Amino acid sequence: MNALEALIVRRIRAAGPITMADYMAEALGHPVHGYYMRGDPFGRAGDFTTAPEISQMFGELVGLWCVDTWRRMGAPGRAVLVELGPGRGTLMADALRAIAVDPAARAALDPHLVETSPALAAVQRARLAGAGATWHTGIGTVPEGPMVAIANELFDALPVRQVERTPAGWRERMVGVGPDGRLTVALAPAATAAAMLVPASLRDAPSGAVAEMAPAALVLADALARRVAARVGAALIVDFGDETPAGRPTLQAVRGHARAEPLADPGEADLAAAVDFGALARAAREAGAAAWGPVPQGRFLHALGLGLRAERLRRRAAPEQAAAIDVAVRRLAAPEGMGTLFKALAIAHPALGTPAGFAGAAPTESPC
């Protein structure tokens, strides 16, 4: 067993089983052994590839979304451009290049990066040298004011709790220590507070159904919504997930581009859970913002001009580069790629109107 599993086993032996969310937080965020604390997990040689690492087109189109949002905000002379969970800094670098097409927008937008991993913040600092960016470990220290925010594949990394429907009621799935001394999943013997949080759509689910809840994701959606509603602005959240939860566990481990066992070798595999976009939209509306979508990533990118951008890049590309551009378009936008599994949600000030890329997506209905 690796060093982090040994630490978690010791903690459980001392204080009892932990929630799946606590396990996920340790596996991803332990200061020494946590997956994101160890270094750079992205790309072909790493564990998984995200949309901005597939092609510069993704970040460029998100940059255009930022410019359009800033203009809808009334083109304020200063606004914060926040990225949450910036990875290698590729998305921000590509977005800033596209934003610079409108020099007034680039001059007004002040980049702020929210990153918990010192190792990845160092990668981002090197990538974004000269961009005038500021780093934070949480949204709380980002200056208040007009805001454009983006987050790609951050929400899926936020810890989830899981509760399972049993004949005796909802019971939380906990991480404990099995007879072999290794980490194992066991149901809590009595109801825990998480049972109260089961979404309405699953309350009558049959025995065996699992509800997954991400309290930290709701807290972050609430914070973003409060900021855009208090002044002006919008946040774009792109991730894999659905509008309503499926009633089964989605927490998965990925290592070397293949599925792995979530409890095996903590800190050595990425852990991610499908984002419950409906829950984020409800949290945003309750905080006074409008929520748009989710719309499938493919539709979102095409609405922002993916086809045109690819055509323009292809025109000055060598034949093998042109073929690579076509492959990237399919990976980003086709149903067999990320086109439908991944979705975009916008949280916006109610007066902003339909954000770019969300035309035809009615604002998720208001609570009143």
Residues that bind ligand SAH (CB under 6 A): 36, 42, 50, 52-53, 84-87, 91, 114-117, 120, 152-154, 157
Burial (CB count <10 Å: 0-12, 13-18, 19+), residue 211: buried
Residue whose CB is less far from ligand SAH, 78 or 259: 259
* Closest CB 243 distance from ligand SAH, rounded Å: 21
* Closest CB 360 distance from ligand SAH, rounded Å: 26
Residue identified by tokens 């979705």 is 343
Tell me: cis bond preceding 52? Omega within 30 of 0 counts.
no
Residue whose CB is less far from ligand SAH, 157 or 177: 157
Q: How many CB atoms lie within 10 A of CB 200?
A: 7
What is the C-alpha to C-alpha distance for residues 235 and 291, in angstroms, rounded to an integer?
10
What is the C-alpha to C-alpha distance for residues 259 and 359, in angstroms, rounded to an integer?
35
188 three-class SS: coil
Residue whose CB is less far from ligand SAH, 68 or 239: 239
* Closest CB 228 distance from ligand SAH, rounded Å: 18
What is the C-alpha to C-alpha distance for residues 172 and 165, in angstroms, rounded to an integer?
9
Write the DSSP assignment of 9-20 as a string of letters: HHHHHHH--EEH
What is the C-alpha to C-alpha distance for residues 333 and 342, in angstroms, rounded to an integer?
9
List the structure tokens of 208.
């065996």
Residues 6+ apart with CB under 8 A from 59: 52, 90, 91, 92, 93, 94, 95, 97, 98
Residue whose CB is less far from ligand SAH, 159 or 249: 159
* Closest CB 266 distance from ligand SAH, rounded Å: 15
21 three-class SS: helix
Residue whose CB is less far from ligand SAH, 102 or 153: 153
Residue whose CB is less far from ligand SAH, 36 or 292: 36
Through-space distance between the first and last CA atoms of the chain, rounded to whole angstroms: 52
* Closest CB 3 distance from ligand SAH, rounded Å: 20
Residue whose CB is less far from ligand SAH, 236 or 303: 236
* Closest CB 154 distance from ligand SAH, rounded Å: 5
